[in-house]
Amino acid sequence: MAITLLILLVLFAFLNFYYSIQILRRISNSEVNVSFFEIRWQVHKHMGKYKQLCRSEDGHLGVAWYGYWCSLFLMFVSLVLIFTML
């Protein structure tokens, strides 16, 4: 069971990284300077800008917004479950 949760944790981490790249790509297309080397820290810095940008262009939040937060939550849950099994 612990191995399954560990595999899920890694899967959710890759999914979270994918959605963070999608968010930063959309932000960088709107002429905001985004450094690739600090990608993990700048996602939270630009989440408000991404939310504002999506709502102004599309009228609703993008899929990457929900995917990012859901995968982050699922990473946290799987990490807690792994630690409770130890």
Residue spans of the domains in the chain: they are: 2-29+39-85
The helix (H) or strand (E) run that includes residue 50 is: helix 39-57
68 burial via Cβ count (<10 Å: 0-12, 13-18, 19+): buried
72 CB neighbour count, 10 Å cutoff: 18
Residue-wise pLDDT tens digits, 32-47: 777 666 666 778 878 8
Residue-wise pLDDT tens digits, 10-21: 999 999 999 998
